[in-house]
Amino acid sequence: MTDILNRDNTAKLPSPPAEANEETWELRLYVAGQSAKSVTAFANLRALCERYLPGKYEIEIVDLLQKPQLARGDQIVAIPTLVRKLPEPIRKIVGDLSNTEKTLVGLQLRPRAW
Amino acid sequence: MTDVARGEEVGRTNGIAGQELAKSATGIQGLDEITGGGLPTGRATLMCGSAGCGKTLLSLEFLVLGAVEFGENGVLLAFEETAEELSQNVRSLGFDLDQLIEDGKLVVDYVHIDRSEIDETGEYDLEGLFIRLADAIDRVGAKRVVLDTIESLFSGLSNDAILRSELRRLFRWLKERGVTAIITGERGEKSLTRQGLEEYVSDCVILLDHRVSDQLSTRRLRVVKYRGSTHGTNEYPFLIDQFGISVLPITSLGLKHGVTNERISTGVSGLDAMLGGKGVYRASSILISGTAGTGKTTVSAHFADAACRRGERCLYFAFEESPNQIVRNMRSVGIDLQQWVDRGLLMIHSSRPSMYGLETHLTTMYREARAFNPRLVMMDPITSFLRSDGGADAEAMLVRMIDFLKGCEITSVFTSLTGGGSALDQSEVGVSSLIDTWLVVKEIEQQGERNRGLYVIKSRGMSHSEQIREFLLTDEGVQLKDAYIGPGGVLTGSARLAQEAREEAAKVKRQEDIERKQRSLERKRQVMDAQIATLRAEFEAEEQEAQRMLAEDQRREERLEEDKEDMARSRKADPQPQKAQEPT
């Protein structure tokens, strides 16, 4: 937490949503089976995308129980983890995405200032 | 350590524990001895220590040797270095990680958490890590797992509570999987590890340490804890070099080494004669001490030469001279060591005492001795250690070394430089009790000349000469001469030569005296004989004379008688009465 607060915010993009408008968001959610946290995360992500990125997002669900070898590629340690593949750069959000504000900040849909 | 000693250690462990705690051999020299067979099978071992102390290397060697020597495949979860980096780092130790990975014996999974690209929100767990680990284990059927170092998670993720509960789950999970694991951890200020991992991993804790004292660095290893098993509790020095890791487990736990009655020659016939005529016992420890330039190295070279002549391997640790220098110098006294070097019987290992710490030296020697398998080991001189170190430590290490060598039935020869002026017996007091046969080469100075004398201070288990011998360095090596004891002490060198000359002169003189006496006796006899002959001649002459006189007297008598008869006839005298008596 302290790291986030201390981070230098001056270099951030002024309006990421504007940029986001131009392309499709490729999101990947890593889960492990139908665990409660995974289900919650997916539901939260779905709601958030419908509201902030209507019509221009793709969510890919990767179940590591099915395809464990995929965990290496995106360096997945924690479950659930949301990975923003596009737009670049890659962002990761760990957790069940229950805090919408934080999730938006993590996805850079909202400036990191509060 | 010998197999015997190791067996005993294991045996004792079992005896106390009642049942055998399964152990997985690490294959690392020494570590298996300390732990009585290896790390606890199916459990996790915490390997902690400060940066650069060799945690990763030791763990990797555990995996590599497991795969290569024990047929147990391994998984390395690396949090700090990528597979490529690791592979490069350990290539210098002779480990080919790439090949092992290709052969399906090892999986290296680099786990990287970049905090700058991660945000956290809400509940999560480390199932991803579990899945990766499980996948890796399943892929090669791994029995051994190393997590290096899991504490990196704490810098990547911020929720300590989750991490801690997940770690607890991870270690339990590892145990359930039945893999033998090593968890490495960075040394903390107050606790063994920064994140208190020892709280979770409680079966076996090994602490590595890298210390620098007097500008010499020494790595040490200590088994802090080993649940269900006894273990060596000391700090053991260990070494990382091109052959990997070797720990020096030598302990002085027992004096149990077997003994042999076999005697071996010292290579100096005069010295063998002093030692009951048969030389020293095999596997005994021999100390040759003396002041500078007394020929200690030459005597030990004789030992080496004799061993090689018997076809035995000999390992020579020189701390003052290079191998070539030793060979050259020994050639000057007629000992050709080069032939043994060429035949692979003799190995001379030179290093400066200050090159590294005492423990590292001894670990090196220990490893070399194990690799070369000699019957005779020499250290020339041990004083360098005593000097480079406080003394007490060096002594303790020498005890270990001697015990190790004895355990392997290796004869050990040490030379020791004694300072001029100090009493010989005092300066050696520290080590002498470990020594079975102690020879002293002493400098004897008299009449402006320095000579050498050798005597046996002690030699356990045999009768030996108490007398000092003069010690000569000749073109044919060392020769011992009986010393002359004069009124001023022992005579050596030219004093001895003078004494020898004097004795020779006296002998010649005595011989001459005898001859002269014999001659004079002969002369007397001749004189006597001559006198006897003269006397006899005189006597004979007198006898002849007497005979002649007697005969003359006789004739004169007869003539007188005739004359008387003639006269009577002429006078017509009566016949003589005696005539009347005649029967006429």
For A45, name the nearest residue in chain B, comparing CA atoms only: B121
ipTM score of complex: 0.78
Please tell me the distance from the alpha carbon of residue A107 to that of residue B266, in angstroms, as a whole number. 83
User: Could B131 and A65 be called an inter-chain contact, meaning their C-beta atoms sit closer than 8 Å?
Assistant: yes
Residue A84's pLDDT band, with cuts at 50, 70 and 90, is confident
The pLDDT score that the predictor gives to residue A1 is: 42
**B359, B418: one domain:** yes
A27-72 residue pLDDT tens: 899 988 888 888 888 888 888 888 888 888 888 888 888 888 888 8
Whether this prediction's pTM lies above 0.80 is answered by no
pLDDT of residue B516: 94
pLDDT of A85 above 60: yes
Verify whether the Cβ–Cβ distance B121 to A94 is below 8 Å.
yes
The answer to whether residue B258 is domain-embedded is no
In this structure, the answer to whether residues B221 and B282 fall within a common structural domain is: no
Pairwise CB contact (< 8 Å): B127 & A79: yes
More confident residue, A114 or B98: B98
Query: Is residue B241 domain-shared with residue B325, that is, in the same domain?
Result: no
Whether the ω angle into residue A17 lies within 30 degrees of 0, i.e. cis, is no
**Site from A34, A94, A97, A104 to mutate, B interface, most B CB atoms within 10 angstroms:** A94
Cβ-based contacts under 8 A for chains A and B: 104
- Return the CA Rg of chain B: 48
Domain containing A50 equals: 15-106
- How many structural domains does chain A have? 1
Is there a domain that residue B554 lies in? Answer: no
Q: What is the dihedral of CA B570, B571, B572, B573, to 10 degrees?
A: -130
**CA-based max dimension of chain B:** 206
| pLDDT of the residue at B578 | 58
| DSSP letter (8 states) at residue B198 | G
Which pLDDT does position B531 carry in this prediction? 95
How many domains does the structure of chain B reveal?
2
**Helices marked H in B381-454 — which ranges?**
383-388, 392-407, 424-427, 429-432
CB contact burial B263-283 (16+ within 10 A = b; e otherwise):
bbbbbbbbbbbbbeeebbbbb
- Each residue's pLDDT, cut to its tens digit, for chain B (584 residues) gives 444 444 444 444 444 444 578 888 888 877 888 888 888 888 889 888 888 788 888 888 899 888 888 889 999 988 888 888 888 888 887 888 888 888 888 888 888 888 888 888 888 888 888 899 999 999 898 899 998 888 888 888 888 888 888 888 988 898 998 899 998 888 877 777 777 777 777 788 888 888 777 666 778 888 888 888 877 777 787 877 777 787 766 554 555 666 778 888 888 888 888 888 888 888 888 888 888 778 888 888 888 999 999 999 999 988 888 899 989 988 888 888 899 999 988 988 888 877 776 777 777 887 888 888 899 999 888 877 766 555 666 777 777 788 788 878 889 898 888 765 555 544 555 667 778 888 888 887 777 777 888 888 888 888 888 888 888 888 888 888 777 776 666 677 777 788 788 888 999 999 999 999 999 999 999 999 999 999 999 999 999 999 999 999 999 999 999 999 898 888 877 666 555 555 54
- The last residue of one of the domains, among B482, B500, B519, is B482
Find the closest chain B residue to A85 by CA distance.
Answer: B117
Whether residue A10 is predicted with pLDDT greater than 50 in this model: the reply is no
Q: Both B294 and B207 in a single domain?
A: no
User: In terms of residue numbers, what domain contains B111?
Assistant: 3-115+125-247
- Whether A112 maps to a domain, the answer reads no
CATH number of the domain where residue B163 is located? 3.40.50.300
Final residue belonging to a domain, choices B185, B215, B247: B247
DSSP string of B416-433, one letter each residue? EEPPTTS-HHHHTHHHHT
Strands B204-213 and B216-226: antiparallel
Q: Which entry of B199, B235, B320, B321 is annotated as an active-site residue?
A: B320
- For residue A102, give the CATH number of its domain: 3.40.30.10
Q: Do residue B165 and residue B57 come from a single domain?
A: yes
Verify whether the Cβ–Cβ distance B121 to A102 is below 8 Å.
yes
Q: Choosing among B77, B119, B158, B159, which should be mutated to test the A contact, i.e. which has the most A CBs within 10 A?
A: B119
- What pLDDT is recorded for position B4? 42
The answer on B60 and B163 residing in a single domain is yes
Other CB atoms closer than 10 Å to residue A11's CB: what's the count?
A: 6
Half-sphere exposure of B291 (CA within 13 A, CB side): 14
β-bridge mates for residue A84, sequence order:
A27, A91
